[in-house]
Amino acid sequence: MNLKFRAKDYLSSDSFESAEYEYIGNQKDGWEIKRNGEPYLQLGPGYIPLKTISCGVCSTDIDRRFLPFPLPQIIGHEVLAEGLEENQGKQFVVEINDTYEARGDKEPDLFCKEGIPTHSPERRVLGIDRLPGGFGPYILAPINAAINLEGVSPKAAVLMEPFAAALQAIIASPPKKGDHVAVLGPRRLGSLILAALSSYRKSNQSDFRITAITRHDHLVKLSKEMGADEVIDLRITNVENLKNKFDIVYDTTSTPSGFESAIQIAKREVHLKTTNGQPMAGINHLTELVVDELSILPFSEQNTKFHWQKETRTNKNIFVFENVSEEIKTKLKQDFNVYVGNEKTAETILSSKEFLDHLPRFDVVVVSNPNEIGFAIRPNPNHENSLVRPRGAILVDTTNTKLWPAVQSLVGEFFKEGKEIHSSRCGDFHMAISLLRENPEITKSLETNLISHRYPADKLEEAYNKAKDPSSVKVVVDFQ
């Protein structure tokens, strides 16, 4: 097959330019992608061509220039598409991670074998990292990432990727009985988290209260439509009056000020769902924290055993930064393989023969200050590998937080009080589809309330700029 078309590339200058693309190949033999007549990307077997129907504009698209992936690129990853050739007439939603598992490769890497295929360092990401995205008229989707749309209306389907991501936050940080949880910034992703919380509560017959926190008139009404029990308007209520009020705060603001507010008002946990690539509260690489779905927890014996709920693994290898207290080091050596040093030492250990047949990450990393949190997430500017395994934990020694700089004192106090930061990224489309089928009123609410603007494909730049406007909620670009 040969697909030749023009599309608008996104540039690091936060602008677009037209480019000519060509997809040459087939599912069995692989694909060559050309851009303006030059080789752009070579793909192996396991991809099917799809024709874009529509694609939503995400906060990640708006902040794409801050992410550590090459540009220019056709961006867009909230895709509803239709099949070509033998799949003609079928509609698909598309999971964004291009992995061994998604392509159906017979020889998966260690990350797939560990049950975390979407964290493989070799993965590409639709519309984010190299693989051309949904703001073009055609995409190439890994065969297992293209999910046949059945039982959910096409109107709601374009929201499937962000709804699944929203649901992942609830799966990773589920409210307990009697909890009072808050969604900070209920706009695009925040509104979907409200919907996910509401549908999760109903499907699981859970008992917790949901509050939306905003400062925009149009989001007050929207939040109630999406499942909030109450809405707090920050133009009327001071954040100081909400201190320690909510058991879990799902922060979707993507701003340093929003993150600092979340830290203040959380009683037990902040779930960080999206960031803008900038340092926040004196901590570097929080965007990458979300990408790797890591958690930052105060040090305790219980937290050394941390893993996600459905994982059955046991933590064995722990790296400890040099300035962590000797008491903690001594305790850890009783039960774990403990390695001590700085980030350079850690990288040397992970590349040694000792980790040759193991996942090249530590199960847990223990730090003594926020700067080391950043090093644990991204120790080396030359690559995107963390020291700690995806969905693993960074534990903070809180014995010396009084010595932290003023800009970092807020998070120092947060961890000192035993509070936690969790994060999540992509979600399970099958689970999201199932939840929407069980809760048709939520599906109807998504269709009716969340998509605020639609633009034809030739108005992509206008759609992109509208998505930056606080008056918009979800902007969708239509190709058909």
457 has a pLDDT exceeding 90: yes
406 has a pLDDT exceeding 80: no
66 has a pLDDT exceeding 90: no
**pLDDT value at position 277?**
73
**pLDDT value at position 187?**
84
Of 148, 175, 193, the residue that ends a domain is 148
156 lies in some domain: no
134 lies in some domain: yes
218 touches 226 (CB < 8 A): no
51 has a pLDDT exceeding 90: yes
142 lies in some domain: yes
**Number of neighbouring beta carbons within 10 Å of residue 327:** 10
249 touches 181 (CB < 8 A): yes
Question: How many domains is the chain partitioned into structurally?
Answer: 2
Interval 356-387: pLDDT, tens:
888 999 999 999 998 999 999 999 999 889 99
Interval 219-264: pLDDT, tens:
898 999 999 999 999 999 999 999 999 999 999 998 889 999 999 9
Average pLDDT over residues 19-38: 97
386 lies in some domain: yes
- Alpha carbons 450 and 462: distance in angstroms, whole number: 19
Of 148, 175, 210, the residue that ends a domain is 148
Q: Kindly report the pTM of this predicted structure.
A: 0.89
402 has a pLDDT exceeding 80: no
Q: Could you tell me the CATH number of the domain that includes residue 106?
A: 3.90.180.10
**pLDDT value at position 57?**
95
Quickly state the pLDDT bin for 44 (edges 50, 70, 90): very high
**pLDDT value at position 441?**
86
257 lies in some domain: no
Mean pLDDT (the chain) is 93
48 lies in some domain: yes
434 has a pLDDT exceeding 90: no
211 backbone dihedrals φ, ψ, rounded to 5°: -120, 135
Of 380, 408, 436, the residue that ends a domain is 408
78 touches 58 (CB < 8 A): yes
Look up the domain containing 60 and give its range. Answer: 2-148
427 lies in some domain: no
Beta bridge partners of 339: 319
User: What SS3 state is found at 78?
Assistant: strand
Quickly state the pLDDT bin for 407 (edges 50, 70, 90): low
Interval 281-338: pLDDT, tens:
888 999 899 999 999 999 999 999 999 988 888 999 999 999 999 999 999 999 999 9
26 has a pLDDT exceeding 90: yes
324 touches 398 (CB < 8 A): no
56 lies in some domain: yes
Q: Residue 372: which of 306, 284, 286, 301 has the closest Cα?
A: 284
CA-to-CA separations, 26 to 3, 45, 46, 134, 323, in angstroms, rounded: 11, 8, 9, 19, 54
**Which residues of 27-129 form beta strands (DSSP E)?**
30-35, 38-43, 47-56, 78-83, 91-94, 97-98, 124-125
